[in-house]
Structure 1
Amino acid sequence: MRLNRGDFAAYFAALHEGSAPYAWQERLLDSVLDAGRWPEALVAPTGAGKTSVIDVHVFAHALAAARGLARPPRRLAMIVARRVLVDDQYRYACRLAEELDSAQEGVLAEVAHRLRAGRAGADQVPLLVARLRGGEPPSRRWVDHPTAVAVLCATPEMWGSRLLFRGYGSSSRAWPREAGLLALDTVAVLDEAHLSRQLLCTARRVAQLVPVADHAWEGPPPLQVVETTATPASGEGRRLGVDETDLADGSSLRERLCRPKPISLVPRKDWRTTRPRHTVVDEIARRAVELIAQADREHPTVGCFVNTVERAVALTAALRDKRIGERPLRVVMLCGQVRPVDVELLETRYPRLLTPAGNSDVDVLVSTQTLEVGADLDLHAIVTELASGTALVQRAGRANRRGLAAAGPVVVIVPDGDVSARDRSGPYDSDDLSSALAWLTGRAEDELGLAPWAVRGDPPPQQRHTRRLLQRLELGQVWHWDRTSDQLAAEPELDLWLSDDLRPETSISLVVRDDLPTDSADAVEQIRVLLPRRHEAFGVPIQTAAEILSEELARLRTHDRHAQLPAVLVRGDDVGPLTWTGPSEQQRARIRPGDVVVLSADLALFTPGEQGSPSVAVTESSGIRRARATDVLEAIAHRAGGPRTGEIVHRVTLADPALIDQLAPIDDPVDDAGPPVDPWTVAEKWLTDHQTDKDPMAAAAAGLLAAGDRRAADVVVLPSHGPPRQLVVIDGRRRDADDSIRQEWTPASGRVTLAAHQRDVAERSGELAAAVGLPAPLTSALTSAALHHDDGKADPRFQVRLGGRPAGPPLAKSHGGVGPETQRRRQDRSGLPPRWRHEQRSVIDAWPHIGDTNERDLVARLIGSTHGHGRTSFPHTASELLGPGAGPVLTRLAEELFDAGGWDELIERTRLRHGVWCCAYVEALLRAADGQISGEGR
């Protein structure tokens, strides 16, 4: 079939159980197609279907490709300030991607075909989906595929920090790739933008600054920014959204937006208490039971919203003490700090719970602010603590969301008098609570209550802004941050450019693992092999995490004053032992937003996961009973559908002495000898001989090895020294490989020659450039850089490090399976100084071959920054770089560039000519081409 505009209704219906798109969604599609860009604002109340921007993004791109129209940006960033809502959007985008990938016929198949046709590279998934939020390791795959149509689901700080060359949770080597790709060929949709004024200001300023350069940018479009809210903060640009004409009698949108949501105010004298378990909790529980008893709907789940995690835990316990008739209440607690896999397993136990259909087996869903904004729930009624006016509107939006019932009751626990200046509840201060109470009292007199369309005419008071002035981003600041490989005198305080209240979502991840070695070196090696996965990460506020870690260290030191807490810190691609600061009796962990800390599963740091409710991390001082959390690295095999491609990981504990002796590592001091037996063969035989039917992950690993594709999996013995204790099977079909590993290692069975690798990268670079519409001069510079980006690897010393043979052709990569002792001996034999970079040498070796054109500086810059180093300086002088025996011509060139400041000047010239983000974008294309070819074993 030939895709046309009229197919949008069929496409939408295929994704939404036959439902037709609303008129405003149709207008949005037309606007994007006609202008080739997105409007500056979407004005739509809660319940109007704003998540459909994902559907519009995908269809618009496919239709533009089919009809030769101006293409809108490839990447859609959905930005919302609630982690669980990021997860909700991520799950929807993943489902859409799976529907497209599996479609065999009809409109979905045609959309998928058009999306695939616009991609370059071997990976032909039609839609890429990634998640960037605090409290979990960030997605990386999207940076390797810049030509893919993609949906990025992110929290404000995780997206904004990447845009400003300082991605939280990413290594400094990844910062320029992320910044370049987010600043070009991307549209950012900021949900509830009035709550993120500073980020909106910064994002729009970046859009203005991207093309600022001496040479006009003619490549993919700069960043586009869309604010979505019921009350836009400004009148700039084109607006589009729900109109009165969209609410015709009998329309489903009218039922969603106009059904009454009557308010019942419940004054409590002891409302002000901050203790988690108190009579306020009991009142909320009692009111919830009353609403359940009154329910006459097929799915009578009641939502209870409180303002802190501690109170949510206490309320869940109180509700489980209640009964409906002869049975206890079935209660599920959900907040932003839970592990994604726990949510997936929760949905396996209670299907459709977090969808509008709901699950009648759950009586009460308890949450914090997590499910306020954008969560597509349809609850019978809600009971909530007093919060800010905007928060209450969002919470009420979950009651009778589809308008199928006559009304959606809203019960609010409030103080029995005025709010005092000292009162505070969770994130809400006295001004927020006082203004919300006054407004809510007035709305309670209207029978429509908190119906979305009624609230549109009487909007709630905005949460008080703690910042009087917003910070304007200037180009000089960006130039400073662009020095991503330099140690700056002080790291920038990005809160000034990202956060409205200067108290950003400063979260880290906690991950628990069974059998984490107590020896720090062994623990680090194990985590390098088994990096934390997103599904197993607890999102924890950084202050809570710091208190938990300090408490646990203090507990250990009551028995041994020199004890250390076994913990591994993962920061981007960097893995090492967790370090501490401060005096020994008051030490605090050195952690920062986006970090991942891996701990032993033996530690009792979490709430008990009872009746299917996920656990969360809590401090000892909270007074809440704590328990151990389970290791869930392999738990994704138990969810519906089992592990997906790339997710298989299985650990085999070695107990057989004969097997341990066979797998003991051998490192030949002269040559690279292999192990006495092949770990792959051992793992395959062990999994075949042992029962795997009751362990779905073991069965998946057995099937992966039985297929016989050596590039499809890695089999690793741990530790690499001493007696083996573990055999690990890791899925390699969708490699998210560490960039620093891919530089020197390939999963292919044979070695990769330097000439073949560079030829392949140059060819792929040209394909990427053509797909994104890079102009001819920049395409020529990109492919020229790709053809020479690894010239420095021909250095004889580096060839020794790779295991190359003197008589053979220079290698680009060594093969896998080499033990660390062999690697260390190779490094010692090579004579290379520590931290020597082959890209720096590549610049010197390539210089005579890259021509004296207008883009010579750019070609050299691309070569030198291939792996994120050299921005702006390199660590070695000319003599250290070249070593003995270098000729006078190369020596003079190296001295000019790296001793006399020539390289720094070259970087400055390219910034002036092309702009900071545009340079980073072209760098990202080259690094993507290199990463794709390396991932394919070439």
Structure 2
Amino acid sequence: MTFQANFTALAGFPPMSWQVRLFHDWLARGTLPSGVDIPTGLGKTTIMALWLIARAQGARLPRRLVYVVDRRAVVDQATSFAETLRANLDAEAKGLKGSLGLDGRSLPISTLRGAHIDNREWLDDPSATAIIVGTVDMIGSRLMFEGFGVSRKMRPYHAGLLGADALVILDEAHLVPPFEKLLESIETNPSQYAPIDEAHRALIPRFKLVSLSATGRERLGDVFSLQESDLEEPHLATPITLTRLNATKRVTLRPAGEKDLPERLAAEAWQISRSTQEHIRCIIYCNKRETAKATKAALDRLVSDLRKKDPGHSRIDTELFVGARRNCEREKAAKRLANLGFIAAPAGNRNGTAFLVATSAGEVGVDLDADHMVCDLVAWERMVQRLGRVNRRGLGDATVIVLDPIPAKEKKADTPAPADLRAIKQHEALLALLHSLPKYEDGSADGSPNALRALKRCENLRLLISEATSAAPLRPALTRALVDAWSMTSLKEHTGRPDIDPWLRGWVEDRPNTAIIWRRYLPIRASEHPVAPSEIEDFFEAAPPHASEILETETWQVVDWLMSVAAKRSGKAKNLADNDGSLDGELDTVHQGDERASLPAAALRSDEVIAIALSPAGDLRQRYGLKDLISGDKKIETSIRDRLNRSLAGATLVVDARLGGLTSDGLLSEHDTTDSPNTADGADNWMALLENTPTAKKVQSVESPLIRFRLRSVAATNPVVSEDNSHWRERLRFSAERSDEGETLRWLVVDKWRYDAANEHDRSVGPSQSLEAHRSAAAAKAREIASRIGLPRLEAQALEIATRLHDEGKRAEHWQRAFNAPRQGGPYAKTEGPCNIRLLNGYRHEFGSLRYAEADPEVQTLPADLQELILHLIAAHHGQARPLIRTSGCDDGPPSTLKAHACKVALRFARLQKRWGPWGLAWWESLLRAADQQASRDNDCPMKDITRESPK
């Protein structure tokens, strides 16, 4: 099949000329430009399809495509297109699957929303073609060994597969110049970050970066941009590129006061709608969230007044589009946007007028298309993005009203501050650029992509564009010493390991964010039996926060919300108890599992833990009861607020679902709510809001659950074993209720999906399997991975040997006892449990495996550098040995000898890190860990081969 035929089958539409040229001149040859500078609305996301086709045709391009967007949005094009590619590879484009090594399985994708949200399928097989869609913070932190929401043990695994054999596509790179520079530094400085030896450097697959932008900021190097020949598209019935480039967008600039800006924005949008008999779609962009909320309120008043005058008037909808929602409700919002016609809806399907009020959350990475637009004046690069969301496909005639907010007059200093001077200069440049645009016959400015493109190409306006664009924030330099410090993930604390944010976003004045999740079950029990921090951390490692349940917003907003809701809940509980005493009976059952979770908010006690703050690594930061969050004294309240702002910055806050505080649209609310939010650990389908959608069918599929853990409250007198243990395995038991004597009365049981492996114990619990059988199965998987990647003979042999020997430490008698191994047929690598971790006394079986590897004859036949690599891969296969590993519980020698061996482990890590580079060594580790996990999953379900999974 030709490229055009393959593209059409894969994407669902024919390619534009620029896409054909980018494929033939670059990707088909196994090369990549440093950047792609294409106007908004011309389909830059399709680079995913070009990459897939090129790989299918044998081009030497990285196996993993990592598509990075600035922030989460309700509807991101990257997720939608990745889902389309996956579906079409199983249908019209299935002829490409064999060449991609995907025979018998679907393309692994991990996305920002929907059925594949952060599913981490790409970790299953390092040799597989895969697409990962993530945000700057998600991908950047994981690349730099600091993975937000990833345990320390798993951080090297993520970093290794993101830092090698990966092509990062940085969408709208102008928004995050510090992150672009960080990626550029990794890509272009092999002497610092790649293996020091040329032969080793050639062995580690490449890390590549392509920046996408439509605003004028450009990377150095070969940047792909439109040519005049791209406007000719004889293979298309209607030339798409030319039509979209010349889309009519009539821009008018008008002054407005800051104070009455919301009223003016609403009035201008309302006037556009009243000036036509058609049902229109109008988007109103606001620079501030408060302005957006006030603008929507003003529009709602106008709609209400009209309905009073004309009750029979056709339907008018208003919608607020802000970023801070959970994924569950974002899916609901996306469906509503589609129904309202803001996502590629034909005009003929409309049954009324609709207004969409949006903040920056609706500017980037969102396939919005309005008929008309009203907005306030912002930096040039943002104006370009906003203009790209109106008459996107060039089929209409858009009116665009830009209001220039004039600040209220106030006494100015004789000498303006540098920031004020910069703002004045930027404002003057913005006005000059808008006045430089060509004019239509009615006097309005031409805001089409072609007009903007012409401005960018004009040498005389380059300085003006630079002044009108937001200044790139200052950023710290990336150094090898910093990367080495971040890569020491087995160290809980490291004085040379700074916070990663400045390297991702620069030194900016943005306020810190906090992630919130609502849970039905928390690891708490009565105060007379306190819960240790390690119990809480183990609980949330077993039932970790999932991307689909997270609401992320500014920390100060979370603090305000938390204190306000806590005060209301505290007052409600007190009033109920004072009025009729009905709370007393409920409080007796507050720690009894399901009963507790179904209690009303009034049942919250002042001394009961209702929120738990976790660090990005899952460490406990703080526990909060109602009494910790409220006070009648203003000074104490200020102190509480300051303390919360410090402890919640960058944290994940897990709150009791009975606290509520969430609207049906997924937005934070300080007002009282009658129902607890639905939760990922609840009895009902977590993604029930998606019913009757393709996503819901995938989520509900028994083959691929979205949430790969579940919680059960079980009385100690009842069997703890799951009734459905064909699909679920017990992961952890938490003693939720104890008698006065300390005996457990009720367990909170965390089950894991049969193929999931959040920690090392997961891989050791399942259908019983002898150590010999697991050794053989894992070694076979390693051999297959090495073959598909194309490792040289000796390196492939080293990987296979390391995988064969990695679990030898499980021969230890106390490991077999701790995991309840059968007495016959051992030793075992996998047992049905239950396991008693206390019997291990801290024993690390990977440390115990080292003496077997050192004495293995096959190891000794290899060169010394590969012997060292084998020993490190074994020691690090559960995320340890970077650089430290525990020696407790090991009976292989006296403490002094074990300590000396542990020192060798640390020194070996340092040598290998220098030899292979930070990401090269982590990549090696990922190969063994993937082979181990594949073998364990096959053992869990012998009929399932994770590397050859049938398409759903």
CA contact (8 A) 1:199 1:497 kept: yes
**1:235 CA displacement:** 5.9
Q: Deviations over 1:568-609 (max 9, x none)?
A: 445567475844799668531665676432213333534x44
Partner SS, residue 778 of structure 1: helix
> Residues 510-562 of structure 1: CA distance to partner in whole angstroms, max 9, x if unpaired?
12234668648599888666544332221223343344335555667887997
1:11 and 2:6 correspond: yes
Aligned equivalents of 1:184 and 1:203: distance in 2? 12
Task: Work out whether 1:283 is the aligned partner of 2:264.
Answer: yes
CA drift at 1:95: 3.0
Amino acid at match of 2:920: C
Letter in 1 for 2:268: R
Is structure 2 residue 178 aligned with structure 1 residue 198? Answer: yes
1:397 — aligned with what? 388
Residues 718 and 260 of structure 1, relative CA distance in 2, 3 Å threshold: same
Match of 1:55 in 2: 49
User: SS at 2:200's partner residue?
Assistant: coil
Q: 1:310 aligns with which of 262, 280, 290?
A: 290
Counterpart of 2:483 in structure 1 is: 478
1:615-764 to structure 2, matched below 5 A, reads: 615-617=666-668, 630-633=677-680, 634-639=685-690, 640-641=693-694, 642-644=696-698, 645=701, 646-647=704-705, 664-665=715-716, 676=719, 679-680=722-723, 710-711=726-727, 732=753, 735-746=755-766, 750-764=767-781
CA distance in 1, matches of 2:111, 2:16: 27
**Is the Cα contact below 8 Å between 1:742 and 1:934 reproduced in 2?**
no
Cα offset, 1:137, TM superposition: 8.7
Kindly indicate whether the alpha-carbon contact (under 8 Å) linking 1:45 and 1:452 is maintained by their aligned counterparts in 2: yes
- Within 5 Å, which residues of 2 pair with 1:898-913? 898=902, 901-913=903-915
1:70-81 to structure 2, matched below 5 A, reads 70-81=59-70
* Whole-angstrom distance in 1 between the partners of 2:539 and 2:873: 34
| 2:880 aligns with one of 862, 869, 894 | 869
For the pair 1:545 / 2:558, whether they are aligned, the reply is yes
Q: Paired residue for 1:258?
A: 246
Deviations 1:73-120 (A, max 9, x none): 11111122131178441232123213323x1xx4x11123433447xx
The answer on whether the counterparts of 2:111 and 2:133 sit within 8 Å (CA) in structure 1 is: yes
Contact in 2 for aligned 1:757/1:812 (Cα 8 Å): yes
RMSD of equivalent CA atoms: 3.9
- Which residue, 114, 119, 122 being the options, matches 2:99? 114
Matched, 1:337 2:357: no
CA contact (8 A) 1:866 1:923 kept: yes
Q: Distance in 1 between matches of 2:158 and 2:64?
A: 12
Q: Report Cα offsets for 1:152-204 as digits up to 9, x if no partner.
A: 22222322222222122222212211221111111111222233222222112
Q: 1:529 to 1:906 in 2, by over 3 A?
A: closer
Corresponding position of 1:458: 455
CA drift of 1:451 comes to: 0.8
Deviations 1:827-868 (A, max 9, x none): 44x3x433x322112112321113263311100000000011
Structure 1 unpaired stretches of 5+: 65-69, 119-123, 274-278, 655-659, 667-674, 681-704
Structure 1 residue 241: deviation in Å?
2.7
Q: Which amino acid aligns with 2:552?
A: G
* Pick aligned residue for 1:360 from 330, 346, 350: 350
* Mapped partners of 2:393, 2:417: distance in 1: 35
- For the residue of structure 2 that corresponds to 1:920, the secondary structure is helix
Match of 2:549? Answer: 536
Amino acid across the alignment from 1:451: S
1:321-332 to structure 2, matched below 5 A, reads 321-323=301-303, 326=313, 329-332=316-319
Alpha-carbon displacement from aligned partner over 1:393-433 (angstroms, at most 9, x marks no partner): 1111111000011x2221112135899989999xx966555
Q: 1:484 to 1:234 in 2, by over 3 A?
A: same
| 2:847–2:885 Cα contact (<8 Å) kept | yes
AA at the equivalent of 2:96: V
Output the amino acid matched with 1:111.
L
Query: How much does 1:503 deviate?
Result: 4.6
Counterpart in the other structure of 1:914: 916
Q: 2:586 aligns to what?
A: none
- 1:130 is the counterpart of 2:107: no
Residue 364 of structure 2 corresponds to residue 373 of structure 1: yes
1:585–1:184: structure 2 CA closer, same or farther, 3 Å change rule? closer
Change beyond 3 A, Cα 1:625–1:332: farther
Report the Cα offset of residue 664 of structure 1: 3.0
Looking at structure 2, the residues matched to 504 and 872 of structure 1 have their Cα atoms a distance apart, in angstroms, of 34
In structure 2, give the amino acid aligned to 1:738: A
Residue 138 (structure 1) shift:
4.9
Spell out the pairing of 1:180-195 with structure 2 (5 A cutoff): 180-195=160-175
Asked if the contact 2:710/2:751 (under 8 Å) is kept, the reply is no
Structure-2 change in CA distance of 1:724 and 1:357 (3 Å) = farther
**How far apart, CA to CA, are the structure 2 residues paired with 1:592 and 1:762?**
44
Alignment correspondent of 1:851: 860
Q: Name 1:225's counterpart in structure 2.
A: 209
Calculate the TM-score normalised by the size of structure 2.
0.78
Distance 1:431 1:755, change over 3 A: farther
Which deviates further from its counterpart, 124-133 or 255-264? 124-133
Per-residue deviation, 1:789: 0.8
2:657 matched residue in structure 1: 601
8 Å CA contact 2:711, 2:750 repeated in 1:
no
- Report deviation, 1:438: 4.0
Name the % identity: 26
* Stretch deviating more after TM superposition (280-289 or 528-537): 528-537
Bigger drift between 30-39 and 624-633 goes to 624-633
Alpha carbons of 1:485 and 1:902: their partners in 2 closer, same or farther (altered >3 Å)? same
Who is 2:135 aligned against? 155
Go from structure 1 to structure 2 and tell me whether the alpha carbon gap of 1:464 and 1:355 turns closer, same or farther (over 3 Å shift): closer
Does the C-alpha gap of structure 1 residues 548 and 350 become closer, same or farther in structure 2, counting only changes over 3 Å? closer
Structure 1 residues 904 and 28: CA distance shift in structure 2, 3 A:
same
CA apart distance, 1:626: 8.1
1:837 counterpart = 2:858: no
Contact between 1:82 and 1:155, CA under 8 Å: does it hold in 2?
yes
Deviation at 1:803, TM superposition (A): 0.8
Count of paired positions: 831
Note closer, same or farther for the CA distance 1:712–1:514 as it changes in structure 2 (3 Å cut).
closer
> 1:40, 1:236 within 8 Å by CA — same for their partners in 2?
yes
For the 8 Å contact 1:47–1:401, the answer to whether it is kept is yes
- 1:265 and 1:838 mapped to 2: Cα distance? 69
| Counterpart amino acid of residue 218 in structure 1 | A
Contact persistence 2:153–2:878 (CA under 8 A): yes
What displacement does 1:53 show?
Answer: 0.8
Inter-partner Cα distance in structure 1 for 2:216 and 2:495: 39
Structure 1 distance, partners of 2:752, 2:335, is 24
Partners of 2:566 and 2:423 in 1: CA distance: 34
Cα distance in 1 for residues equivalent to 2:747 and 2:332: 27
Query: Residue in 2 aligned with 1:145?
Result: 125
Offset at residue 638 of structure 1 (A): 4.2
Alignment check: 8 A CA contact 1:87 1:131 kept:
no
Amino acid at match of 1:170: V
Alignment map for 1:498-513 (pairs within 5 Å) = 498-503=504-509, 506-513=512-519
